[in-house]
Amino acid sequence: MAYADAAALRTAREAEVDALFAVQAELRHRGEVVAQGVRKMGEEKEALERRLQDVMMATDVVEAWVMENNRRGSTQATEDAVEPADVLSRQMIDCTAADLALEDTIYALDKAIQEGSVPFDGYLRSVRALSREQFFHRALSAKVHTAQQQAKVASMAARAPQYAS
């Protein structure tokens, strides 16, 4: 009886020891995984710190550029940034700007109707009016383009050498 109890106890203890060895092996494996994760995070942190330094330097360069250009360009108006060569060019710029502004407005109305913040009948009325106005700007732009092409041809013809036959 005592021998049977000792054998049963030994089997139970061996099972416990085997289980503890398995737990120990699992803990070692998890420790390696954690150490590897910490190592990777450290490397990533160093890379991010280097990137932060690069961004900080680029920010300093951009801020210096902005300060320099604000001091230099504060007297110029925005419209004077592009100076058209003639009246037709000015008209073409104005037509194109109006056309693009109307396009943006129609796009914003499309988004608003998709969100349901604009009633459908109001949307249709607005888009119809904006499209009509956009059509006139595009037609005027086409006429201006034709006039520019004719002026260019006339200028080239005036510069062509006159050959006597």
Strands (E), 83-131: none
For residue 6, the model assigns a pLDDT of 81
- DSSP letter at 116? T
Domain boundaries, the chain: 1-72, 84-158
Q: Give this prediction's pTM.
A: 0.49
Which is nearest to 108 in space by CA: 99, 117, 95? Answer: 117
Say what percent of the chain tops pLDDT 70.
91
Q: For residue range 110-159, what is the model confidence (pLDDT) as tens digits?
A: 999 999 999 999 999 999 999 999 999 999 999 999 999 998 888 888 88
| CA pair distance 129, 134, nearest whole angstrom | 9
- Phi/psi of residue 133, nearest 5 degrees: -65, -40
